[in-house]
Amino acid sequence: MDTVFQGIDANGTQRDYALDDFKGQRVVLYFYPKDNTSGCTREACDFRDSMNRLAGKAVVIGVSPDSVKSHLSFKQKHGLNFILLSDPDHVLAEQFGAWGEKSMYGKKYFGIIRSTFLLDIDGAVVKEWRKVKVAGHVDEVLTFL
């Protein structure tokens, strides 16, 4: 059975999602560390600004450990036009290998490793981008699509 996650849809409505809900559609599933941080905001806005180029090619879903409330604020503040999922227990992130050890200023900790996955219409991973650099990433995804 597919795990259910709380999220915010493209219209800002809170609802439950399971990855099985997207069977029959290609999905760009991207993991990011935290709402309203500089890199995460830039990545989200890049996806937002490219939605017309992504339309008909894939559904975009952003995932972070932030709460649904945080996602709603993030979505409203930046006019995001795609789904954001809350993964506070990093279940989905672990499933995709996007949760792991990181290092900042010499201190090691566990967190989201910025990653993107393209799922085919059956939900299988057909492409993955690991340790993503934000600049130009959405263009890389579009080129592959």
Per residue in 54-99, pLDDT (tens digit) is 989 999 999 999 999 999 999 999 999 999 999 999 999 999 999 9
Question: Domain range spanning residue 93?
Answer: 4-144
- Rounded to two decimals, the pTM is 0.93
User: What CATH number should be reported for the domain holding residue 130?
Assistant: 3.40.30.10
Confidence of residue 137 (pLDDT cuts 50, 70, 90): very high
Catalytic residues, by residue number, are: 40
Confidence of residue 2 (pLDDT cuts 50, 70, 90): confident
| Mean pLDDT within 42-65 | 95
Give residue 1's pLDDT. 45
| Mean pLDDT within 11-40 | 93
Instruction: Give Cβ neighbours of residue 38 (< 8 Å, ≥ 6 apart).
Output: none
Q: How many domains is the chain partitioned into structurally?
A: 1
